[in-house]
């Protein structure tokens, strides 16, 4: 079990570790040969292992822009802060290599999930093969599977590990695709009801100077609620802490005393990137529930950066998009094989030095993607805003870009031959970025909708439509965290913030073209296939009948923007909120 202290500076951490090691070993661990020789053997030296960790890279090969490309750092001792530009694969590679050079034989590079998925066009348009190839070059060792690794289903995730060309599009980024040279881990994702067979390995054991370190990879338990259910049929996602605790005895039986959990779940701190004040969220309870034999927890999912001690365990996270990395120093007892010190620091991935090899690779991918990304498909007189989270006080949850996308979905499916839809609904989690005023490129639209979901048109009764609208307000969510679906032109309703879960919407306010919805009548509704399968817990969509699959969502938006160029942004007011 780790003996940890508050996050020290780099030099302080190493000096402290050496001082502690000296106190533990000086004159007290003389080992005799047992062969009649009265001379003591040399004292065994402690073993130092370096972990380099990051999380939620999301295929950001190029330096991310806007607020996604900065880290807030202190300006000095006056308490001030400033934003520093950060991230970009070539800069990430440089920072990792500089740390690894200190002791390459005792260094492990790990990712806490969402390495791929919801990626910018440069990676996403090639099914994230560029990200895998680039991480092979950087020297990633382990990736704990996140929820976004399941965006395109289990088979595509396995292709990322094992290689092979895409079954539909072939190999586009390179002539062949060999898959990941690093290991995907997912201890709590099982392929059978008996929960004995995992989809991917549960853990990996590395040995350093005779001392073993176990790495357990953990996927977000709630993954099944936020990815397309069709892609994960037959899989079960189990409680993270229960799974870890069941594995600890197995690791110990193999001589593992130093245990690192790499988990795609996280928390929310109130401080800066290398601090841990006011940490809250699921990672706190999980760290407290993990067996005391767990020494380090590398986390992710929330896109936050923190460096904590929780329940005497070192718990870290390194923001997102390659903007930060965590340098974790472990000092291992060569006799007991346990961790006697675990120090860490979060490092901003500044853009002052780039790795030339990785930079060349990124430029190559950009060159291949540029003709697709740069073509202009429309024009807008004003910026189109994506959803704001959490939902600002008093706002209904409707946003301008959501209206445009819902209208595009309806336009693509309203003809009888294409579905006969009269209503279209878009989940806000599928809208990932703003569109600026002026020319609209395909690359911008792809960034907004990077999941390549198919439009799906189905028949629901008026009562079932009301049911799915109420599912926007599950009992465990506050109104600030509510995810409001965006609705197409002609459809409107009012929700009441103070209303109880399951009764926030007055059916009389649900209108289609000015006429209240008839609970017993049937309506053709277009959503994306993620929603149609019950994603985001909109399970009422699974009651739909006469299901018809349509085009990819991004293609529908492109067609709509071309047909309505220049775009006249639709007015707000389709969704109203009462106190």
Q: What's the mean pLDDT in 508-537?
A: 95
Q: 463-486 burial, b for 16+ CB within 10 Å, e for fewer?
A: ebbbbbbbbbbeeeeebeebbbbb
Helix (H, G, I), strand (E, B) or coil at 440: strand
In this structure, are residues 50 and 103 in contact, taking their beta carbons and an 8 Å threshold?
yes
Position 173 pLDDT exceeds 90: no
pTM of the model: 0.79
Distance of alpha carbon 64 from alpha carbon 77, whole angstroms: 29
Position 386 pLDDT exceeds 60: yes
- pLDDT band, residue 393 (cuts 50/70/90): confident
Instruction: For 412-439, write each residue's pLDDT tens digit.
Output: 999 998 899 999 999 998 998 899 999 9
Calculated CA dihedral for residues 350, 354, 357, 358, nearest 10 degrees: 30
C-alpha dist (Å) from residue 216 to 60, 295, 297, 325: 25, 12, 10, 19
| Cα radius of gyration rounded to whole Å, the chain | 26
Position 478 pLDDT exceeds 70: no
- pLDDT band, residue 11 (cuts 50/70/90): very low
Q: Based on the number of CB atoms within 10 Å of its own CB, is 236 exposed (0-12), middle (13-18) or buried (19 or more)? A: middle
DSSP 445-504: HHHHSTT-PEEEEEEEEHHHHHHHHHTTS-TT--GGG--PPEE-TTEEEEEETTSPTT--
pLDDT at position 66, please? 80
Instruction: For 196-209, write each residue's pLDDT tens digit.
Output: 899 999 999 999 99
Share of the chain above pLDDT 70, in %: 91
Name which of 333, 329, 279 is nearest 309 in CA terms.
Answer: 279
Position 511 pLDDT exceeds 80: yes
pLDDT at position 391, please? 78
Q: For the chain, which domains are there?
A: 49-361 (3.60.21.10), 376-578 (3.90.780.10)
Position 282 pLDDT exceeds 50: yes
- Could you tell me the two tokens for 461? 């009764």
**Higher pLDDT among residues 115 and 224, named by residue:** 115
pLDDT at position 359, please? 98
- pLDDT band, residue 44 (cuts 50/70/90): confident
- pLDDT band, residue 479 (cuts 50/70/90): low
C-alpha dist (Å) from residue 220 to 144, 146, 183, 226, 553: 10, 6, 18, 10, 26
Name which of 533, 537, 429, 529 is nearest 485 in CA terms.
Answer: 429
Residue whose structure tokens are 């999380």: 55
Calculated CA dihedral for residues 133, 134, 139, 141, nearest 10 degrees: -60
Distance of alpha carbon 558 from alpha carbon 441, whole angstroms: 9
Give the angle 247-197-131 at the CA atoms, nearest 5°.
Answer: 85
pLDDT at position 533, please? 86
Helix (H, G, I), strand (E, B) or coil at 398: coil
Distance of alpha carbon 305 from alpha carbon 87, whole angstroms: 14
In this structure, are residues 528 and 453 in contact, taking their beta carbons and an 8 Å threshold?
yes
Position 476 pLDDT exceeds 80: no
pLDDT at position 18, please? 39
- Could you tell me the two tokens for 410? 């309806």
Backbone angles phi, psi at 122, to 5 degrees: -55, -35
Distance of alpha carbon 45 from alpha carbon 478, whole angstroms: 53
The dihedral sign for the CA sequence 72, 77, 80, 83: negative
Position 369 pLDDT exceeds 70: yes
For residue 423, how many other CB atoms are within 10 A of its CB? 24
- Compute the 3-state secondary structure of the chain and give helix, strand, coil in percent, each to the nearest 5: 30, 25, 45
Distance of alpha carbon 466 from alpha carbon 249, whole angstroms: 49
pLDDT at position 32, please? 28
Instruction: For 284-331, write each residue's pLDDT tens digit.
Output: 999 999 999 999 999 999 999 999 999 999 999 999 999 999 999 999
Name which of 309, 316, 414 is nearest 110 in CA terms.
Answer: 316
For residue 230, how many other CB atoms are within 10 A of its CB? 13
Q: Helices (DSSP H) in 400-454: which residue ranges?
A: 400-413, 442-448
Distance of alpha carbon 418 from alpha carbon 407, whole angstroms: 15
Instruction: List Cβ neighbours of 514 (8 Å cut-off, separation of 6 or more).
Output: none
Distance of alpha carbon 393 from alpha carbon 395, whole angstroms: 6
């Amino acid at each position: 079990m780790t003996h940890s202290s508050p996050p020290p500076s780099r030099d302080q951490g190493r000096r402290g570790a050496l001082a502690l090691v000296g106190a533990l070993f000086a004159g007290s661990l003389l080992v005799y040969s047992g062969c009649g020789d009265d001379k003591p053997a040399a004292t065994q030296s402690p073993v130092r292992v370096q972990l380099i960790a990051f999380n939620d890279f999301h295929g950001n090969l190029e330096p991310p822009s806007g607020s996604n490309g900065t880290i807030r750092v202190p300006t000095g001792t006056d308490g001030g802060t400033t934003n520093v530009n950060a991230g970009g694969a070539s800069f990430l590679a440089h920072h990792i290599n500089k740390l690894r050079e200190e002791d390459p034989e005792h260094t492990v590079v790990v990712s806490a999930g969402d390495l791929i998925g919801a990626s910018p066009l440069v990676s996403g348009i090639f099914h994230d093969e560029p990200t895998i190839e680039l991480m092979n070059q950087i020297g990633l060792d382990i990736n704990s599977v996140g929820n976004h690794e399941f965006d395109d289903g289990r088979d595509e995730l396995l292709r990322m590990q094992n290689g092979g060309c895409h079954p539909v599009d072939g190999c586009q980024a390179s002539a062949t695709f060999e898959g990941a040279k690093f290991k995907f881990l997912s201890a709590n994702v099982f392929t059978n009801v008996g929960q004995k067979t995992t989809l991917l390995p549960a853990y990996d054991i590395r040995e350093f100077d005779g001392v073993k370190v176990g790495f357990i990879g953990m996927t977000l338990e709630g993954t099944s609620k936020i990815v397309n259910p069709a892609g994960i049929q037959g899989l079960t996602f189990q409680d993270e802490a229960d799974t870890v605790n069941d594995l600890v005895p197995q690791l110990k039986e193999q001589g593992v005393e130093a245990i690192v959990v790499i988990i795609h779940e996280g928390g929310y701190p109130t401080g800066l990137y290398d601090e841990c004040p006011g940490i809250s969220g699921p990672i706190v309870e999980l760290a407290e529930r993990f067996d005391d034999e767990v020494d380090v927890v590398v986390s992710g999912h929330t896109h936050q950066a923190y460096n904590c001690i929780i329940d005497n365990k070192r718990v870290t996270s390194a923001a997102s998009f390659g903007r930060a990395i965590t340098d974790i120093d472990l000092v291992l007892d060569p006799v007991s094989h346990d961790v006697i010190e675990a120090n860490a620091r979060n490092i901003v991935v500044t853009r002052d030095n780039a790795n030339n090899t990785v930079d060349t690779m990124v430029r190559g991918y950009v060159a291949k993607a540029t003709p697709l990304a740069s073509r202009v498909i429309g024009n807008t007189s004003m910026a189109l805003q994506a959803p704001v989270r959490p939902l600002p006080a008093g706002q209904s949850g409707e946003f301008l870009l959501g209206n445009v996308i819902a209208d595009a979905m309806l336009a693509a499916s309203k003809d009888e031959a294409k579905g006969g839809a009269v209503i279209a609904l878009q989940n806000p989690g599928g809208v990932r970025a703003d569109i600026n005023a002026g020319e609209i490129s395909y690359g911008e639209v792809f960034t907004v909708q990077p999941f390549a979901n198919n439009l799906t048109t189905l028949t629901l009764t008026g009562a079932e439509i009301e049911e799915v609208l109420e599912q926007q307000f599950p009992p465990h969510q506050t109104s600030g965290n509510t995810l409001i679906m965006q609705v197409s032109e002609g459809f409107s309703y009012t929700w009441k913030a103070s209303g109880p879960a399951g009764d926030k919407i007055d059916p009389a306010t649900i209108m289609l073209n000015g006429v209240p919805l008839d609970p017993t009548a049937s309506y053709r509704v277009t959503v994306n296939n993620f929603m149609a399968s019950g994603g985001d817990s909109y399970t009422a969509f699974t009651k739909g009948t006469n299901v018809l699959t349509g085009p990819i969502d991004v293609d529908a938006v492109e067609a709509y923007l071309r047909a309505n160029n220049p775009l006249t942004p639709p007015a707000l007011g389709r969704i109203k909120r009462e106190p």
